[in-house]
Structure formats: C-alpha cells, structure tokens
Amino acid sequence: MTALNDFSAWVGRLQTVTDTISPVQVRQMAATLNDGARLAQPDGAVLPAGWHWLYFNPLEVQSRLGDDGHPARGDFLPPVALPRRMWAGSRLQWSRAFAVGSVVTKASEILKVTQKSGRSGEMVFVTVAHDYADSHGPLLREEHDIVYRDWPSADEKAALAALGARARAGEHAFERTSAGPEPVSADAVALFRYSAATFNGHRIHYDVDYCREVEGYPGLVVHGPLIATLLLGYIETKVAPGHFIRAFEFRAVRPTFDLTGFHLHADGDDTSFTLWSTNNVGEVGIDGRLTLG
C-alpha cells in the first residue's frame, strides 16, 4: 500500500466552499425525520444541530466517481489506496446556530494523516478541520476523522454475518443503557432520502447488493452523521429542549444496519451529557459527549 510519507504533501492542504442554507434541504430532512411542523415552515427557526451536514457536500461529475460512489481521491483528500472509506468521528464546537437562508463559507484544512496497523488490518486516518462562518463571524469549528480500510477479512465478514443473523432473529441485549432509551428506525427509504438530501453517493447506504457482495455487510449501513444528528435532535427535543448545544464529540464504534430498529441514549446533568447509540442487537454503535451552552 502507499507509504505514509507519500501523504505529507496533503497535510495543510486547503479548500473553501460557500453554500446557502437553503430551506429546500431543511424540508427534505424534515420530511425524512417526520417533522411536519418544520416541513411546513422550513425557514421558521434556526437550523437544528447537525443539519449543517446537509450542505457543502462535493458536487463531482459522474465520470470522476469511484466504484464505491465517492468522488475519486487525490484532489483535496489524499489518494489513499485502501478501498473502504468510513466516518470515524467528529469534534464540534458551535459559536452560534446556522440561520436558514444565510450564506455560509466552509474553510477546510487537512490537519494530519496517520497510518495504523492492528487486528483489523491496515488503516489510514485523515483528520480534516472545517471552520464555518457567515457575514456575522464564526459559527462552528469541526474536526472530522475519516478512516480508510482494506477489504474485510474472512473473520470480519463472518462476524458481520453473525450480527445480521442475530438481528433478524430478534436477538437484542443492551451493552450499555440509559434510563429511557429512545427507539428509532432507519429503513432503506429513509437512508436513500438522507443520501439524496446530502448528495452522498456512497453505495453502502442504498445499494444492498454492493453492501453484501463487495463490502461484506449484512444490510444497508446507517450513515454515521445521520445517527449523530438523531442524537443531537434527541437532546434538543426530548432531553434539554430550548438549550443551545455548545459542543459535541463522537466516535463510530460499530456499524448499524437497516435490518431492525436501534436506540438513542443520554445520561448526564444540566450541562454535560454522555450520548450513545446502540445498534440492531444492542451493542454501542456511536459513543459521544455533549455540552450545553
């Protein structure tokens, strides 16, 4: 595979994208999440936390897409040879909420590229910083970790197949639970609609044959940022309504699939919460922490 030193030229690379926080994507997301009030008045309030991921996404011509549906590497992101790309986690710090209708600039910088080798094989981590600002100043600082991995080993495929079988059989036991876990579901239609709203062509979210035959998954993979957005919405609407989310950090632990529903969890006090999701069989999927402003 490509040596880590070959990626040194990409560290410090910059990219700037400007987008309008259009009510069109707000309506699409509201429809996907069954939010009838926001669907009827998409510009009636500030953008919910996590909904900024609907915007600033690359618009690449079809001929420059890879086999997985992602844009070809080697432009802004480094040309990592490992075939699978996943969202490994993020750290977010809000200054203000995004206003629907505003024009926002996203300035990105590659902070580091790290190669690791472990039981699951070779991995390359790319950390990208994103600074969002409108005409009034900073809105959000985000650091996004992307992980590239090799094709799944026989052991990984077997473990994924076993998880799928357990989910289909109705097996479920919380690895870690909260006082009132929130059940949610994301079927194939919801995943397709979120992919469409974010212009995300990654085939693991809508092409079940590709998932099973190429990447070894037992079903469609629920988007990491979608689960993170659901966790943020759980805080904003159920746990601490009316409060401003100041900071949120999370890491992806295990995938969640469209096979069955899954759960959101929160545990904390007035300002600080531990947040996590559990997947189709109750194992921790996304693990995070959140601070209210």
What amino acid occupies position 187?
D
Q: What is the pLDDT of residue 3?
A: 45
pTM score, whole prediction: 0.94
The answer to whether 94 touches 245, Cβ cutoff 8 Å, is: yes
Q: What is the pLDDT of residue 6?
A: 77
Domains of the chain: 4-292 (3.10.129.10)
Start-to-end C-alpha separation, the chain: 44
Question: Locate tokens 């079988």: which residue?
Answer: 165
Span 131-185, pLDDT tens digits? 999 999 999 999 999 999 999 988 999 999 999 999 999 999 999 989 889 999 9
Question: Which among 73, 143, 58 is positioned nearest to 109, based on CA atoms?
Answer: 143
Q: What are phi and psi of 211, to 5 degrees?
A: -55, -50
The answer to whether 66 touches 73, Cβ cutoff 8 Å, is: yes
Per-residue pLDDT of the chain (293 residues; tens, 9 = 90+): 444 557 888 999 999 999 999 999 999 999 999 999 888 888 878 999 999 999 999 888 888 888 888 888 878 899 998 999 999 999 999 999 999 999 999 999 999 999 988 777 889 999 999 999 999 999 999 999 999 999 998 899 999 999 999 999 999 999 998 988 999 999 999 999 999 999 999 999 999 999 999 999 999 999 999 999 999 999 999 999 999 999 999 999 999 999 999 999 999 988 999 999 999 999 999 999 999 98
Q: What is the pLDDT of residue 175?
A: 95
Q: What is the pLDDT of residue 61?
A: 85
Residues whose CB is less than 8 angstroms from the CB of residue 28 and which lie 6 or more positions away in sequence, other chains included = 54, 193, 196, 197
Distances (CA, A) of 50 to 115, 119, 142, 215: 28, 32, 11, 27
